């Protein structure tokens, strides 16, 4: 049933792209890696070993010209997203674009504009947390009203360490960006204002770390987000949701409980690759299923734009120490559900 398999061009064969190639080649039902787009020859060769039948190209335009591609999965660094998104939209292909949609609000708007020339949204943005089983359960709990209305969210986002190239503003644009998507999604309201606080610095850090990010949502829900990128002990992403009649927490480590050496407990994740492994699988499967039907099933480019707006406000808040209001445009009818 070749004609029914979604033929995906994966753009970017770094860690993330290679992971997606392996996923599409071995686990995602109904999809195949038709092309790998990667200018770096050795990366392209390594990725190609995972999907031997895929064509290899150095540039997206080549892949599109060669044909035989139904969809594009973009896993390049953010600054290169627009250059892939625009021709992919032009070709009318389905797109899964790793977060962020674009590094600036301006670029995000440019992408929105291009997409709106199509009959319907084709871009899904890779905020994979929405596909994590616990986040999804928490979102269902909010929607159900079983514990009353949602009032507060306490989030923690802890990385064991970051690369030398990671800078202070990336705590917002690269890390908290996930909360900038998932908090409004959980709360059912956009971000109205953002503040960033830093206190005592972890001596393992080159910049302010940890930081406390305060989000005011348009429906009154408050969220605090601890971002720690030198946490050392493990990779931990938790949310505690305070409702009118109860509290729910997600992100506690699970797995075999070991009693050894005087302690009893479970292993913590060390990386997003294990913490969100199932979420990535679900995200990609649902995108493929939707793309084969001509739609998307997850965060849209509009969601990506809103995150870009909040992210820019967050960087300003971080730089100035002030509360910064977040004022995205109204969603056009094109993006309304």
* Number of residues forming the site for a copy of itself (CB under 8 A): 78
Stretch that binds a copy of itself, among 55-63, 73-81, 174-182, 213-221 (CB under 8 A): 213-221
Of 87, 41, 81, 85, the closest CA to residue 61 belongs to 87
How far apart are CB 205 and a copy of itself at their closest, in Å? Answer: 9
H/E element, 8: strand 6-11
**Cα separation values, 72 from 43, 60, 93, 262, Å:** 18, 9, 7, 51
Identify which of residues 105 and 279 has a Cβ nearer to a copy of itself in the complex: 279
Q: Within 1-30, which residues bind a copy of itself (CB under 8 A)?
A: 1-2, 5, 26-29
Of residues 50 through 89, those in contact with a copy of itself by CB under 8 A are: 53
Q: What are phi and psi of 111, to 5 degrees?
A: -65, -40
What are the φ and ψ backbone dihedral angles of 174, each rounded to 5 degrees?
A: -110, -30
Least Cβ distance, residue 68 to a copy of itself (angstroms)? 13
Interaction of residue 247 with a copy of itself, rule CB under 8 A: yes
Least Å from the CB of residue 6 to a copy of itself: 12
Host H or E run for residue 282: helix 277-292
- Kindly tell me which residue out of 45, 66, 266, 327 binds a copy of itself, with binding defined by CB under 8 A: 266
Separation of first and last alpha carbons in the chain: 32
Segment near a copy of itself (CB under 8 A); pick from 106-114, 154-162, 178-186, 301-309: 154-162
- Of positions 206, 252, 293, 319, contacts a copy of itself by CB under 8 A: 252
Q: What three-state secondary structure class fits 85?
A: helix
Helix (H, G, I), strand (E, B) or coil at 10: strand
Q: Kindly identify the residues of this chain, within the stretch 218-237, that bind a copy of itself according to CB under 8 A.
A: 219-222, 224, 226, 228, 230-234, 236
Considering only 52, 119, 199, 337, the residue that binds a copy of itself (CB under 8 A) is 199
SS3 78: helix
* Residue closer to a copy of itself (CB basis): 29 or 336: 29
Of these, 42, 164, 261, 336, which contacts a copy of itself (CB under 8 A)? 261
Give 47 or 108: the residue with its C-beta nearer to a copy of itself: 47
CB atoms within 10 A of CB 248: 17
Is the Cβ–Cβ distance between 73 and 24 less than 8 Å?
yes
Nearer to a copy of itself, 119 or 262 (CB): 262
- Judged by DSSP in three states, 1 sits in coil
Q: Which of residues 279-308 bind a copy of itself (CB under 8 A)?
A: 285, 289
Which of the ranges 124-132, 253-261, 303-311, 328-336 carries the binding residues for a copy of itself, by CB under 8 A? 253-261
* Stretch 109-148 residues interacting with a copy of itself (CB under 8 A): 133-134, 137-138, 141, 147-148
SS (H, E, C) 150-208: EEEEEEEEECCCCCCCCCCCHHHHHHHHHHHHHHHHHHCCCEEEEEEEECCCCCCCCCC
């Amino acid at each position: 049933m070749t004609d029914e398999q979604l033929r995906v061009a994966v753009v970017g064969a770094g860690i993330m792209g290679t992971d997606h190639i392996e996923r599409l080649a071995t686990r995602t039902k109904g999809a195949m890696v038709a092309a790998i787009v990667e200018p770096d020859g050795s990366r392209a060769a390594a990725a190609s070993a995972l999907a031997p039948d895929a064509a290899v190209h150095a540039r997206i335009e080549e892949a599109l010209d060669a044909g035989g591609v139904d969809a594009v999965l973009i896993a390049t660094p953010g600054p290169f997203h627009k250059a892939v998104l625009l021709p992919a939209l032009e070709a009318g292909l389905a797109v899964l674009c790793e977060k962020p949609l674009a590094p600036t609000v301006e670029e995000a708007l440019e992408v929105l504009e291009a997409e709106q020339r199509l009959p319907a949204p084709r871009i899904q943005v890779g905020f994979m947390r929405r596909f994590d089983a616990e986040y999804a359960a928490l979102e269902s709990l909010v929607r159900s009203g079983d514990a009353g209305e949602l009032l507060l969210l306490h989030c923690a986002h802890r990385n064991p360490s970051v690369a030398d190239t990671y800078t202070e503003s990336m705590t917002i644009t690269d890390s908290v960006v996930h909360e900038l998507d998932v908090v409004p999604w959980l709360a059912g309201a956009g971000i109205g204002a953002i503040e960033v606080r830093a206190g005592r610095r972890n001596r393992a850090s080159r910049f302010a770390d940890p930081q406390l990010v305060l989000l005011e949502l348009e429906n009154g829900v408050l969220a605090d987000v601890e971002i720690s990128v030198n946490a050392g002990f493990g990779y931990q992403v938790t949310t505690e949701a305070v409702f009118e009649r109860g509290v729910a927490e997600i992100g506690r480590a699970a797995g075999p409980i070991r009693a050894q050496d005087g302690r009893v407990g479970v292993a913590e994740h060390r990386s997003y690759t294990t913490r969100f492994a199932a979420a990535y699988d679900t995200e990609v499967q649902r995108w493929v299923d939707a793309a084969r039907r001509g739609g998307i099933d997850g965060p849209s480019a509009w969601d990506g734009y809103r995150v870009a707006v909040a992210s820019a406000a967050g960087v300003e808040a971080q730089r100035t120490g002030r509360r910064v209001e977040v004022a995205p445009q109204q969603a056009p009818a094109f993006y309304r559900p």
